[in-house]
Amino acid sequence: MASEFVWYELLTPDANASERFYGDVVGWTVKPSTTPGMDYRHLTAPDGEGVGGILQLTDDMKKGGARPVWLGYISVSDVDAEIAAIEKDGGRTQMKPTDVPGAGRMAMVADPQGAAIYVMKPTPPPDRPDAKSTAFSRTAPARCAWNELATSDPKKAFAFYARHFGWTDGGSMPMGEAGDYQFINDEDGMIGAVQATTNNRPSMWTYYFRVANIDVAKKKIEAAGGTVMHGPQEVPGGDHIIIGTDPQGAMFAVVGARS
Which of 92, 122, 152 terminates a domain? The answer is 122
Q: What is the pLDDT of residue 250?
A: 97
> 148 with 115, same domain?
no
pLDDT tops 70 at residue 126: no
> 169 with 246, same domain?
yes
**Quick one: pLDDT band at residue 38, thresholds 50, 70, 90?**
confident
Give the whole-number percent of the chain exceeding pLDDT 70. 96
pLDDT tops 90 at residue 198: no
What whole-number distance in Å separates Cα of residue 41 and Cα of residue 50? 11
Q: Provide mean pLDDT across the span 8-19.
A: 96
Which of 90, 122, 154 terminates a domain? The answer is 122
More confident residue, 35 or 23: 23
CATH of the domain at 91: 3.10.180.10
> 149 with 220, same domain?
yes
Q: What is the pLDDT of residue 176?
A: 80
Distance of CA 139 to the CA centre of its chain: 16
> 153 with 108, same domain?
no
Q: What are the φ/ψ torsions at residue 225 (nearest 5 degrees)?
A: 95, 5
State the residue range of the domain holding 87.
Answer: 5-122
> 117 with 12, same domain?
yes
pLDDT tops 90 at residue 174: no
Q: Provide mean pLDDT across the span 199-209.
A: 93
Domain contains 196: yes
If we measure between CA atoms, which residue out of 238, 237, 180, 240 comes closest to residue 208? Answer: 240
Q: What is the pLDDT of residues 65-116, one digit of tens each?
A: 889 999 999 999 999 999 999 999 999 999 999 988 878 899 999 999 999 9
Q: What is the pLDDT of residues 56-69, one digit of tens each?
A: 998 888 888 889 99
Identify whether 46 is preceded by a cis peptide bond (ω within 30 of 0). Answer: no
Q: Say what the pTM is.
A: 0.94
Domain contains 108: yes
Domain contains 132: no
pLDDT tops 70 at residue 134: yes
Domain contains 137: no
> 33 with 93, same domain?
yes
Give the whole-number percent of the chain exceeding pLDDT 90. 77
> 24 with 112, same domain?
yes
> 245 with 171, same domain?
yes
> 114 with 155, same domain?
no
pLDDT tops 70 at residue 128: no
DSSP H helices, 58-165, are 59-63, 79-88, 154-165
Residue type, 255: V
> 103 with 70, same domain?
yes
Domain contains 139: no
Domain contains 152: yes
Which of 62, 91, 122 terminates a domain? The answer is 122
Q: Provide mean pLDDT across the span 199-208.
A: 92
Q: What is the pLDDT of residue 37?
A: 73
Domain contains 47: yes
Q: Provide mean pLDDT across the span 17-38.
A: 88
Q: What is the pLDDT of residue 155?
A: 95
> 88 with 191, same domain?
no
Mean per-residue pLDDT of the chain: 92
Residue partners of 247: CB distance under 8 A and separation at least 6: 14, 17, 21, 224, 225, 226
The domain tally of the chain equals 2
Domain contains 27: yes
> 161 with 93, same domain?
no
**Quick one: pLDDT band at residue 129, thresholds 50, 70, 90?**
low
